[in-house]
Amino acid sequence: MKKLGFITSAVLYLSTLTQVLAQPTIPAIKVTPPTNQGYSTLSGFITNFLTVSFAVAILVVLVMLIWGAFEWITSGGDKDSVGKARNRIINALIGLAVLAVAFALAKIAGQFLGFDLSNIRIPGPGQVSPAPADQL
């Protein structure tokens, strides 16, 4: 009888709700889905694409330089291995120069043509770009 009383009291105790005082109550968190997903204009996409492509290109150049330096260090004096490593480093530096020239040409073309590379404005269908203040 003692076992039945113990089991009954244990089940009743564990099945009742008790208040936990170790942690304060937390208000409910409201989750709202994002409203502006994607690109609303083509100019935003082009600007972000150019920024990401330049960043990836710089990372690739850095990896190629490190790879060439590692090959040079681990060549052990072998002329063929040193030549491969030297060519890899030279090609990486040429790629960096081409990247810098492309970026500079884009900036210069933007200044001559009157647009900012980091903020390209392409009007959408039905949108008319405002006239400059001096033409009003």
Strand locations in 8-133, DSSP E? none
- From 53-62, 91-100, 109-118, 126-135, the region with the lowest mean pLDDT: 126-135
Range of the domain at 59: 39-120
pLDDT at 94 over 90: yes
Q: With respect to residue 20, please indicate whether it lies within any of the assigned structural domains.
A: no
In a domain, 50, yes or no: yes
Q: CB within 8 A of 39, min separation 6: which ones?
A: 45, 48
Q: What is the pLDDT of residues 12-67, one digit of tens each?
A: 777 776 665 555 666 777 777 766 667 666 666 777 787 788 889 999 999 999 99
Report the C-alpha gap between 129 and 122 in whole angstroms.
9
The pLDDT value recorded for residue 117 is 62
Alpha-carbon gap, residue 54 to 109, rounded angstroms: 17
Q: Is residue 134 part of a domain?
A: no
Tell me the backbone φ, ψ of residue 42, rounded to 5 degrees: -70, -30
Is 69 within the bounds of a domain?
A: yes
Beta bridge partners of 119: 116
25 occurs within a structural domain: no
Q: For residue 14, is it within any domain?
A: no
Number of domains, the chain: 1
Q: How far apart are the first and last CA of the chain?
A: 100
Q: Could you tell me which residues come within 8 angstroms of residue 79 by beta carbon, excluding any fewer than 6 positions away?
A: none
Residue 56 lies in a domain: yes
| Residue 4 falls inside a structural domain | no
pLDDT tens figures, 79-93: 999 999 999 999 999
pLDDT at 93: 93
State which H helix or E strand residue 44 sits in. Answer: helix 42-73
